[in-house]
Amino acid sequence: MWQLIAQAQPQGVQNTIDTLARTPISLIVYIAGIATLLRLVLFSYTKAVPTHQRGTGWNIARIANEALDAIVYALVFVFLLIRPFGIQAFTIPTGSMVPTLKINDYIVANKAVYRYSEPVVGDIVVFKPPARGLPDYQKGQDVDYIKRLQGVGGDVVEIKDYVLYRNGKAIAEPYVHYTRQTGNSSEFVDIPKTDAPRWDFKLVKHKGEYWPVLYNENSLNDFGTVPPEYVAADPNEQEQLRAAQPVAIPPGFFLMIGDNRNNSFDGRFWGLVERKSIIGRAEFIWFPFSRWGSVR
């Protein structure tokens, strides 16, 4: 069963940190402004009180002033400098990257690295999906996905008989697993790849656009999770797509695919990601502590 397992989007109480990390800049500026005004009032008060009159009220005002000072510096440093240009925390609510990333892993993404370098094949990337990559219930929402980069501009990527080929060369993928969910929706167990549906993949040029094509001997882009833009209802059009030769990814675009190969809603379904939509590279898992380590 193909599932919508793609996002690095917060869900539930356990995602408080990620929710805080997404606080709008406008709100941060507003809070920092209010804190600054309060600090100025308290500072003026504490300076105006003569030394011999400084009692409990003065001490409370001084402590509050110092706390507000710390809050302002923290807001400016973390939310206006570090978050936009440095790093950001995310949580993983779904299993598209199992076992590399598991549900409820907390990760840190490096947002600075792609400011001075280009994403490379093998990177685990946080990005904004194209609109067609969002299910209906998430349309218009601020959603981030996390996947492994499998193709850059100029690459021809295919999947045939469970094997990924890049520019005609079979790629060893030790990180790829085929799984099924247990009774606990957050747990996945490995299954033989031959027990998973076999869907070959290629990117083709069709109607002047780049179409992702998932197919086997009986079907082609005809299951519910394929966006309607890429559904070919006409049998003749399906035959054209089946016969079409794979094409290279155009410059400035990227192909993202999940490691949990049969449980990932990714570029095989909805196509390519633009360079401007890339947020950062996943660097390490920081919680739970038993999972602490780099992400590769």
Which sequence positions are flagged as catalytic? Answer: 96, 147
Question: What is the Cα–Cα distance from 226 to 266, expressed in whole angstroms?
Answer: 10
DSSP SS3 for 180: strand
Comparing CA positions, the residue from 70, 71, 81 lying closest to residue 25 is: 81
Quick one: tokens of 238?
A: 């399906």
Question: What is the Cα–Cα distance from 63 to 71, expressed in whole angstroms?
Answer: 12
Comparing CA positions, the residue from 236, 194, 240, 195 lying closest to residue 213 is: 240
Question: What is the Cα–Cα distance from 293 to 295, expressed in whole angstroms?
Answer: 7
Q: What angle do CA 233, 234, 236 make, to 5 degrees?
A: 140
Report how far apart the first and last C-alpha atoms of the chain are (Å, whole number). 26
Question: What is the Cα–Cα distance from 136 to 94, expressed in whole angstroms?
Answer: 17
